[in-house]
Structure 1
């Protein structure tokens, strides 16, 4: 269908979904008779755009200063939170895919930031933790990460920020249903 044909063909009457209950505004609009996303109101657009910008900026900064990217930092952070875990646990908590977690662990191990042992329950799995050098890296990067967070939320009303965090926690639960 050409753009001209699309302009003249109206969508079915039920094509435009009603605004979901609890929503302030709709996530779609119509242009030339076609329902399209209204990215000024579409939550996944904001989450994705903010995450992409944050990840890209952090990855560039961490690569420049420390020789690691955002996947490695997220892995380091997770190992500081929960030492002695498997790659699968890292994937589960921070929603990192298996290949990215494996690459991050391999990179961090090669750079000398990690120690590991085979799991007693399953010798095919390894338990990972930060060694002294890894904790030194963590201590440097966490300061930068927290400053970046402060800049990100600058000007946000504390009550609004608390509400936003509550909603994001709910979305984390709901994303499992998708």
Structure 2
């Protein structure tokens, strides 16, 4: 029998938002106190450490944040000397880590790894791989969610 209420403790969207918000807030607080950066800047540092000279669109797709947040963070990071900017293909600005940006990435990395290790305490290696697999499958299913929403909206939309 179906209930008249929506149980937020069994809702993937609500649980993922609660999880992400709490994890991000804690990381942001620690990173601000220790390194004077937030989670957005940390994610940009991580992205650029792997993919130098990336544009905002590539970063948004990679780290799952909106382009305006990334652009604002890049402006502040450039002023701080953490990234350098250049004109790229199709008039898109591209960013790369400076020496200072790479050093900051190296400094924050052990802290980020320690936070993740604490988060995954009680999970064995196989469970961690399974959890990662589930996240990747959920992300891959997001277009299906939007397709389903389009169908429900009908042809007039």
Q: Same fold (TM over 0.5)?
A: yes
Higher relative contact order (CA 8 A, sep 6+): 2
Q: How many residues align?
A: 145
TM-score normalised according to structure 1 size: 0.76
1:89-139 superposed Cα distances (whole Å, 9 cap, x missing partner): 1011111101101111111111110112111x323x111110100000000
Q: 1:83 aligns with which of 49, 52, 58?
A: 52
Give unpaired runs (5+ residues) of structure 1. Answer: 1-12, 17-29
Kindly state the Cα deviation for residue 39 of structure 1 after the two structures are TM-superposed: 2.7
TM-score normalised according to structure 2 size: 0.86
1:149-173 superposed Cα distances (whole Å, 9 cap, x missing partner): 0000001133222222111110111
Kindly state the Cα deviation for residue 148 of structure 1 after the two structures are TM-superposed: 0.3
Helix, strand or coil at the partner of 1:37? coil
Q: 1:41 and 1:109 mapped to 2: Cα distance?
A: 42
Whichever structure has more helix as a proportion of its residues is 2
CA RMSD of aligned residues (A): 1.5
Helix, strand or coil at the partner of 1:36? coil
Q: Which residue is 1:168 aligned to?
A: 135
Give unpaired runs (5+ residues) of structure 2. Answer: 147-157
